[in-house]
Amino acid sequence: MSEEIKKEMQAEELSLDELEGVAGGQITFKPLLNYMKEHEITMYSLIKAGVVSPTESTQIRADHNFRLSFVNRLCEYLGCQVGDVIAYIPDDVEDNSIDELLADL
């Protein structure tokens, strides 16, 4: 590949800050917490089973970003689908309607 093409490709790449601005919306783990409550699963039991670490359990409650391999690990252990673990909340949803949106999932 020529140097000119490489430079052009690099000029088009977005920084991480720019990607966050483009991404919009938010992923939430509220469906996981609801699933755990419905199935009487505690965070402690997930930690004890080695599915999540204590740090990850705190990050789940804060809707921290995780790799898909983490979501896969949860789904595999719980025997559930991705929608039982995470949900996408668009930017245009008002804070007071988030619970209503999640109730429909």
Are 41 and 79 spatial neighbours (Cβ–Cβ below 8 Å)?
Answer: no
For residues 78-89, give the mean pLDDT: 94
Cβ neighbors of 93 (< 8 A, separation 6 or more) are 101
* Per-residue model confidence (pLDDT) at position 39: 95
Are 41 and 78 spatial neighbours (Cβ–Cβ below 8 Å)?
Answer: yes
Give the distance, in angstroms, between the CA of residue 66 and the centroid of all CA atoms in the same chain.
Answer: 6
pLDDT exceeds cutoff 50 at 101: yes
Could you give the percent of the chain with pLDDT greater than 70? 65
CATH top-level class for 24-103?
A: mainly alpha
Task: Name the pLDDT band for 1 (thresholds 50, 70, 90).
Answer: low
Whole-angstrom distance, CA of residue 95 vs CA of residue 97: 5
* Per-residue model confidence (pLDDT) at position 3: 65
Q: What is the CA radius of gyration of the chain?
A: 18
* Per-residue model confidence (pLDDT) at position 26: 85
* Per-residue model confidence (pLDDT) at position 16: 47
pTM of the model: 0.66
pLDDT tens track for 11-60: 555 444 444 444 557 889 999 999 999 999 999 999 999 999 999 999 99
